[in-house]
Every structure is written in C-alpha cells, then in structure tokens.
Amino acid sequence: MGKRRDQAMIVGNWKMHKTRQEALAFVKELRQKLTEPSRAAYLAVPFTYIEPLAKEAEGSPIVIGAQNMNAASEGAFTGEIAGKMLIDVGARFVLIGHSERRNLYGETDEIIRKKIRRAIDDGLPPILCIGETLQEHESGKKEEVLRRQLSACLEGVQKAEANRICVAYEPVWAIGTGRSATAAMAQETQAFCRQVLKDLVGVRASADLPILYGGSVKPENAEELLKQEDVDGLLIGGASLSLASFSEIVNHRG
C-alpha cells in the first residue's frame, strides 16, 4: 500500500530568522489560513520562541519544535540545551544533524547518534537529517554516504522505536541554493533510503518511518515532489519564512 498523500508531513525550518513579534504574527495568521484543521503543520523555530509559539498554536494543528539539542540530559555544557528543557517549554519534535550543524558546528555521525538516542529516550521525536555534498554527489558516492549516515546515526534504534523518528533527505547542494533535486531524483534516492531503513531497523512502511525531502522546496515544486511514492513530506527552509509560501504548500499537499 502506498502512503496517504493527504498525511504528508510539512515541516518548516526557520533557522536563525524572525523577531518574536514576527514569529507570533506568523503563527497567528497561519492558524487562520489552514484550510484543513485536522492536518498538522510543523515549525522548527529558534529556542526562545518555542514557548510563546507553542501557546499561540494551542488547539490548532500547528506543531512547534526545535532545531537542535544536546546529547546529554544535563550537565556542565555552557550554552547548550537539553531535550527535557525543550519539552518543558512545549517543543514536540526536534531536528537533529541538519547539514548546517554538521558543516558549521562539527557535528559528526557519532554525536548525532547520541542526540537521536537522547531525543528518543526523552520522548522528543527527532527528525534525522542526512544528505550528500555536491562533491560526493558528483563523484557517485551518494548511496555510500547515505547508507553510512543512516547506519551510524540510527545504530541501536529498535524496530519498536522507529515510529518515533523521521528521516529528512536533504542533498547539501540543494539547501538554500535554489537548485532542488528533481522529483524523480528525490524518489530514487528516498526509495534507496527506505530499503536501507528496512535493513537497519526492520521498517518499510512510510507510516512507520516517514522520509521527508528537503532542499530548495518552493510552492512551485512541492506538489510534484509529494506525488512521489517515497516522499512522505517536506522539510522547508527559505520558503517557510514566508507565510504565503508556507501556507500554500501546507494547504495544497493533496
């Protein structure tokens, strides 16, 4: 059975953008614009906005989450934040291993594996981000890289835990570049990831472990991407900052 397209997970990643006022106004207006109140729309926001936005989103299908967390449950880690603290202020999911965390802040697969484990244990569902660089892409190493990232980052994850995780395939060369993978390319790669996930964790059904695509998703290419069998949702950076673009994608997902 194929996935149910109307259940596609749409996740915005605001990165380090917006003032508190802008963020609150966005969520307030998004609530009004959602045409299907039963379908969730996810937003990964800066830490300091989690609590006010979670309050603003109460009783709506908007789900607020974080963009990162530490692998430890607490301790002497100046400037860091724990999963439990995020839950405490209303976060309901967390992005882990985004390519910007990997490339700019030195997060390795080993660090990411620990964060995934902590997030699962804390009860904060993680979205694990993976993806190959342009150089890896051009030298034909994509599958090798994705297999390595998935197996290293999900090591120790049990089949019964799989439904608490999502994977986001984000080719690094497509993030913020305006150069998205084609729908066919995303489908082929995500079918490969699905097979790897079956081998690793024993799950194949998209409902049990959704695979999102991310990288230059816009209203213009979202629909085509979501038509693909193995694209269960979208992780959207730049286009999630605009209420018009994000609500268009959310409302037209199927």
Known catalytic residues? 98, 170
Provide the minimum distance between the beta carbon of 240 and ligand PGA in the complex, in angstroms, as a whole number.
7
The nearer residue to ligand PGA, 62 or 203, going by C-beta atoms, is 62
**Sign of the dihedral through C-alpha 97, 224, 12, 161:** negative
The nearer residue to ligand PGA, 166 or 203, going by C-beta atoms, is 166
> What is the full DSSP assignment across 99-161?
HHHHHHH---HHHHHHHHHHHHHHT--EEEEE---HHHHHTT-HHHHHHHHHHHHTTT--GGG
Long-range contacts of 147-152 (CB under 8 A, 24+ apart): 147/196, 148/109, 149/97, 149/109, 150/193, 150/196, 150/197, 150/200, 151/196, 151/200, 152/109, 152/110, 152/112, 152/113
The nearer residue to ligand PGA, 72 or 242, going by C-beta atoms, is 242
Provide the minimum distance between the beta carbon of 160 and ligand PGA in the complex, in angstroms, as a whole number.
28
CB-CB neighbours of 244 under 10 Å = 11
Provide the minimum distance between the beta carbon of 13 and ligand PGA in the complex, in angstroms, as a whole number.
4
Provide the minimum distance between the beta carbon of 214 and ligand PGA in the complex, in angstroms, as a whole number.
4
d(C-alpha 196, C-alpha 207), whole Å: 16
The nearer residue to ligand PGA, 16 or 76, going by C-beta atoms, is 16
CA distances in angstroms from 137 to 30, 129, 145, 185, 221, listed in the order given:
36, 16, 9, 12, 21
The enclosing H or E element of 48 equals: none
Residues constituting the chain: 254
The nearer residue to ligand PGA, 11 or 203, going by C-beta atoms, is 11
d(C-alpha 176, C-alpha 97), whole Å: 17
Provide the minimum distance between the beta carbon of 58 and ligand PGA in the complex, in angstroms, as a whole number.
26
Residue nearest to ligand PGA (CB): 237
Please give the residue ranges that form the binding site for ligand PGA (CB under 6 A): 13, 170, 175-176, 214-217, 235-239
